[in-house]
Structure 1
Amino acid sequence: MSPNTSSGGSKGDSKGGAGGFLTPGRIVVLVVAVLTLIFIFENTHHTKIRLLIPEVTMPLWVALLGTGLIGALCGAYFVRRRR
């Protein structure tokens, strides 16, 4: 038999179904994201935040969500640049 016609599995074979989609790393990221959202939306009281010079009063969840989104965008940018 030639290597092209062997019946053995190859590295490119996928298991199909959710097995390939739900990896342990993705599950951990999903759990952390859910816990982060719970933390953000539990902090709903208004707070004063200084944005360089002006001082604004806004719900704390807005500030936390904005900070999280900025961090996620920065992380995605650096991961994409590394490839």
Structure 2
Amino acid sequence: MNTTDIDTIIKKHLHRVAPEADLETLEPNEDLGRALDIDSMDFYNMMVAISEELKVDIPEEEYGKLRSLNRINQFLTESINK
């Protein structure tokens, strides 16, 4: 699985928590909470869904570091390719 595939999965789950957001204009390093006005519960639900789909453990204590598309993608890419 490459970074483009992972981005597609992240955006799919972002769309579920922020259906009105234009994800194509989202900057890769932008804070998702601020950019999309999603709360911590929406973010949590998104991360759980991504974790389940990719079968990758994403510890809750990492969530604070995973606030942008790039950071999430990097974490998932490294976890998948271990």
Q: TM-score, normalised by structure 2?
A: 0.30
More strand by share: 1
Larger Rg: 1
More helix by share: 2
Q: TM-score, normalised by structure 1?
A: 0.30
Query: Structure with the greater relative contact order (CA < 8 A, sep ≥ 6): 1 or 2?
Result: 2
